[in-house]
Chains A and B, each alone.
Chain A
């Protein structure tokens, strides 16, 4: 069973871990993404937040934004949780698990910035949260349509030629991932970068980028 059906996109499989019918696998492609997510999670664990300085326009005055310990701890925890969810999404071999991990990335992205009292940041986080919640409709809908049409969610079976996945399900998956933080919906997140705490805020962008690279691999392989 353990020969990845499509090897021309992700490459041959390197390692397989079987949990019942949920089979976690590493191909050169997903292993590279996994490694990337792992490095950034490690950075979130060890690094200290940046100290932002705002300079007032037209004068010499400036003020530094302090990150207090409580919000630092919460933000770091959320960044690590975001990294773990991204790691899971990179290697999972089950479409529904992938959508769950993607939604979890969305939740933790809100959590990373939710501790700030800055009104602009909170407003952006709120709008982004609404978009991310709406995106879970096509995300779960895509997985459900795949299940209804093929009777399975395992990528090992979906990647074979025997099963044809409807184009609408693929489109739903991609739209869902885009809603979690990619291009056209990304505008909702732009203001979020005002929040201080650079390595943790970066996790928001890294996770979205990796999720998109992974969903493209899944959709092309199906």
Chain B
């Protein structure tokens, strides 16, 4: 540990010098966004070098903030350049994509609810992504975003129960588990269907 940390810091310092030099020299704005994202990952590396449980817990909010900054800047870039996605036909279409989505999505979402938590969210998300992939995904994201927002509020509420009413911990665990299921499902569905549709 005592030798690893300074060596790691040195590597990060060298990487930062390379990265920042590249950003200064780069003239293309799109490439600058990408290089900035690379530099931001170095901030996460700095946190990860601490190598404790606390550092592990700090990487997640750091990553979320970094991604949301990246998304905001990318959105500004898209608006500024006036970029629009060209209308695209679905890559392929076979008959099973008309008949299967309903029942398969139902099974996957149902199984996900039984699993609950992160794993359940991923399984349920596979179901919804499959459904949207086959049936198209217009006009449904408002609902998913709303559900995701409420799930976040429930999740935070569960943490308040942990803090102020610890004797009801089981209820809070159930609340947090259900909410994280909804949140992971909503996020994965959004990511899985991000192809630049009109409502995405």
Contact = CB atoms under 8 A, between A and B. Distances in A.
B167 interface: no
A134 B26 CA distance: 14
A136 B79 contact: no
Contacts of B47: 140, 143-144, 147
Contacts of B44: 140
A206 to B, nearest CB: 20
Nearest to B50: A148
B69 A107 contact: yes
Interface string A13-38: 00000011000000000000000000
A114 B75 contact: yes
Chain A interface residue number, banded:
20 to 34
A119 to B, nearest CB: 6
B69 A147 contact: no
Interface residues of B, number: 37
A126 B65 contact: no
Contacts of B52: 147
A129 B73 contact: yes
Interface stretch (A60-68, A96-104, A211-219): A96-104
Interface stretch (B28-36, B106-114, B185-193): B28-36
A107 B68 contact: yes
A123 interface: yes
Contacts of B54: 147, 153
B46 A141 contact: yes
Interface in A140-160: 140-141, 143-145, 147-148, 153
Contacts of B39: 133-134, 137
A21 to B, nearest CB: 10
Contact of B76 (A19, A114, A148): A114
29 contacts: A20-B163, A96-B58, A100-B62, A107-B68, A110-B69, A125-B76, A126-B77, A129-B69, A129-B73, A129-B76, A130-B36, A132-B69, A133-B40, A134-B23, A134-B36, A136-B40, A136-B43, A136-B66, A137-B39, A139-B43, A140-B44, A140-B47, A144-B47, A144-B50, A144-B58, A145-B46, A147-B47, A147-B50, A147-B55
The 7 A-B pairs with the shortest beta carbon distances in the complex, nearest first, are A129-B73, A122-B80, A140-B43, A141-B46, A144-B47, A137-B43, A103-B65
